[in-house]
């Protein structure tokens, strides 16, 4: 059901001709209200794409009527012409849906440095708006089509939805993998709800959720110029949601989408969960896990079904003392449940570790405090190199 699961949202996915493959490449999601509240989290990359620069302006008043998303081009590093393309796309949506362009979020994904064809974009917007006007009843299919239209090298659409016991709903769609999706740049996520929540409440919930979900997916260590996670509330259920309960449901939904992104990461052969426990703080646990997740030697070893715990510790040791407290010679490491290292010395034989299953668990015990965090990553494979070595050609 995706973004159309909650009441008050309609969606469409159409073929605008932006993708060489000829597949669906433009998605439109409209919030019919009565509320048009929203929150967003954008990439922290200093090189932000034009649609991010535009959408940051849109979010100043926390009001969003619609969101338009395209694959087939990131519209990043395309200068003033690129910004005008984004602006004109929002204007086309505004005209077609009779809303204000200043309330239209724009997201783009694809190659950096190429201009998008504005004519195809605006024609695609008109077609999508026509679908919304005539076919909104078929919202389940439309939600799927929208999720398909934002796919780049994704092999399958990512959807999730949840209905609370009290009657309100959340739905979401996502594309990409990692902060810079391996291959095509960008993680885009749209989440909708029919709960009655203000934009500031949505913002609190969204930041709490992304901090422990999308922010902890680090498939390839690369950060996109286009990442956008948006949360729109229609209030169409008429039901107030308890913010804690809503945040918990949102975290569950974002976790589901995060794991779908991890599972579909380009070329990946293993889904690796790195848990750092007994850290001085949750932030310190994340920093240590991130260092390991970014070690190409560790990632290549996992690909080779090699439980090379020395590479785990070598990566842990690169974390500055100011960033995480630990005794480098007091660390334990377990891989898939086998404690291969205790207090910095070999423990169980590495031959006991079975790395053939796709799911891999690495647990690092710092013996420093009581905080813990899990970060998700993938292995470094031949397919990753292959898919990313000639993308723009």
Closest residue by Cα to residue 380 from 282, 280, 304: 304
CB-nearer residue toward its own copies: 244 or 296: 296
Interatomic CA distance for residues 296 and 299, integer angstroms: 5
Nearest distance from C-beta of residue 22 to its own copies, angstroms: 23
Contact residues: its own copies, CB under 8 A: 45-48, 74, 76-79, 111-115, 180, 182-183, 185, 220-225, 294-297, 300-301, 303-306, 308-311, 313-319, 321, 328-329, 340-341, 343-346, 350, 380-382, 384-386, 388-393
CB-nearer residue toward its own copies: 249 or 276: 276
229: its two tokens:
């996670």
Q: Which residues are catalytic?
A: 186
Nearest distance from C-beta of residue 88 to its own copies, angstroms: 18
235: left (phi over 0), alpha (psi -120 to 50) or beta: left
Nearest distance from C-beta of residue 175 to its own copies, angstroms: 17
Cα-trace Rg, the chain = 22
270: its two tokens:
């293993």
CB-nearer residue toward its own copies: 54 or 303: 303
CB-nearer residue toward its own copies: 34 or 349: 349
CB-nearer residue toward its own copies: 127 or 387: 387
Nearest distance from C-beta of residue 187 to its own copies, angstroms: 13
Interatomic CA distance for residues 193 and 104, integer angstroms: 17
Nearest distance from C-beta of residue 214 to its own copies, angstroms: 16
Interatomic CA distance for residues 352 and 333, integer angstroms: 14
41: its two tokens:
């989290």
User: Residues within the annotated binding site for substrate?
Assistant: 152, 175, 186, 266, 388, 393
Strand partners, 360: 272
CB distance 131 to 33 below 8 Å: no
| Helices 50-58 + 79-97 axis angle, to 10 | 50
Element (H, E) at 312: helix 309-316
CB-nearer residue toward its own copies: 183 or 235: 183
Strand order from edge to edge, sheet including 271-279: 345-346, 338-342, 332-335, 359-365, 271-279, 371-378
CB distance 157 to 173 below 8 Å: yes
CA–chain centroid gap for 22, Å, is 24
Beta carbons within 8 Å of 256's beta carbon, 6+ residues apart:
160
Q: Give the three-class secondary structure for 300.
A: helix
Nearest distance from C-beta of residue 130 to its own copies, angstroms: 33
C-alpha distances in Å from residue 139, one per residue of 8, 9, 10, 134, 136: 11, 8, 6, 11, 6
């Amino acid at each position: 059901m995706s973004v159309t699961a909650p009441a008050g949202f309609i969606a469409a996915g159409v073929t605008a001709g932006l993708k060489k493959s000829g597949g669906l490449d433009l998605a439109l999601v409209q919030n019919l209200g009565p509320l048009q509240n929203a929150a967003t989290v954008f990439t922290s990359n200093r090189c932000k794409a034009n649609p991010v620069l535009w959408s940051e302006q849109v979010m100043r008043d926390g009001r969003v009527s619609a969101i338009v998303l395209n694959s087939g081009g990131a519209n990043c590093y395309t200068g003033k012409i690129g910004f005008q393309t984004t602006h004109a796309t929002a204007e086309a949506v505004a005209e077609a849906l009779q809303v204000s362009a200043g309330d239209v979020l724009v997201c783009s994904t694809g190659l950096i440095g190429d201009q998008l064809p504005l004519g195809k974009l605006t024609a695609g917007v008109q077609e999508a708006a026509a679908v919304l006007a005539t076919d909104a009843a078929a919202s389940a299919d439309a939600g799927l089509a929208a999720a398909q239209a934002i796919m780049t090298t994704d092999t399958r659409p990512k959807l999730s939805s949840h209905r609370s016991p009290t009657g309100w709903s959340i739905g979401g769609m996502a594309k990409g993998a990692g902060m810079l999706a391996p291959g095509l740049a960008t993680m885009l996520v749209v989440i909708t709800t029919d709960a009655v929540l203000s934009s500031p409440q949505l913002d609190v919930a969204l930041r709490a959720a992304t901090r422990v979900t999308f922010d902890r997916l680090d498939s390839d260590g690369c950060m996109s110029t286009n990442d956008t996670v948006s949360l729109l509330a229609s209030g169409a259920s008429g039901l107030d949601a308890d913010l804690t309960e809503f945040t918990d449901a949102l975290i569950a939904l974002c976790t589901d989408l995060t794991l779908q992104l991890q599972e579909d990461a380009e070329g990946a052969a293993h889904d690796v969960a790195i848990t750092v426990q007994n850290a001085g703080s949750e932030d310190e646990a994340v920093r240590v896990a991130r260092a390991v997740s970014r070690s190409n030697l560790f990632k290549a070893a996992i690909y080779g079904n090699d439980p090379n715990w020395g590479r785990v510790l070598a990566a842990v040791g690169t974390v500055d003392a100011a960033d995480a407290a630990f005794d480098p010679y007091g660390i334990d490491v377990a891989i898939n449940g086998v404690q291969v290292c205790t207090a910095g010395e070999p423990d169980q034989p590495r031959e006991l570790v079975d790395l053939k299953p796709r799911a891999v668990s690495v647990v690092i015990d710092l013996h420093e405090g009581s905080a813990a965090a899990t970060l998700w990553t993938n292995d470094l494979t031949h397919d990753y190199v292959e898919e990313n070595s000639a993308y723009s050609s």
